[in-house]
Amino acid sequence: MKKLIVFVGLVSLLLSSQAWGGYSLQTNVFVGSSVAYGAMGDARFEGSNQHIGCSVKADSYSSLAIFCSARNDNETGTRNFLYCYSTDWAHREAVMSMTPFSYVFFSKYADGRCSSISISNKSYFIPSLHLN
């Protein structure tokens, strides 16, 4: 009887871990008046009505520049767009950690400078295949 309980427990554990093995979190891009967030992979596969991302520009002739932008179109057809820029090295470090499937959050001050840039790289932000 004891062996049966252990066996059932092990099988339950294995089945429950397999159920989470393919977990993915679909996130649409949100664009507010001073914040934007969303997963780059989902924005890519969602179609042409949304995008989010950041880029870094630096060369020997100019200073460091970071740009983040996001766009989504809501149900009424209104296009929401937000961008910010930064010259902060801490923001550069965050942006340099981005992958094609990163979750991006950024916020901005009223003058357009980025106040915060956060990049999250987790397995559940990799989009499930949209090949229906």
Domains in the chain, number = 1
Residue-wise pLDDT tens digits, 66-110: 999 999 987 777 899 999 999 998 999 999 999 888 999 999 999
Question: What gap in Å lies between CA 57 and CA 63, rounded to an integer?
Answer: 8
Examine residue 14 and state whether it is found in any structural domain, yes or no: no
Domain annotation covers residue 15: no
pLDDT score for 103 = 92
Range of the structural domain that residue 65 is part of: 25-125
Q: Hey, what's the torsion of the CAs at 73, 38, 98, 41, to 10 degrees?
A: -70
On whether residue 44 sits in a domain, the answer given is yes
What pTM value is reported for the model? Answer: 0.74
Report if residue 61 sits inside a domain.
yes
Determine the pLDDT at residue 81. Answer: 94
Instruction: For residue 84, tell me if it sits in a domain.
Output: yes
The string of pLDDT tens digits covering residues 2-49 is 543 433 344 444 444 444 556 666 678 899 999 999 988 887 777 668
Domain-located, residue 7: no
Question: 69 lies in a domain?
Answer: yes
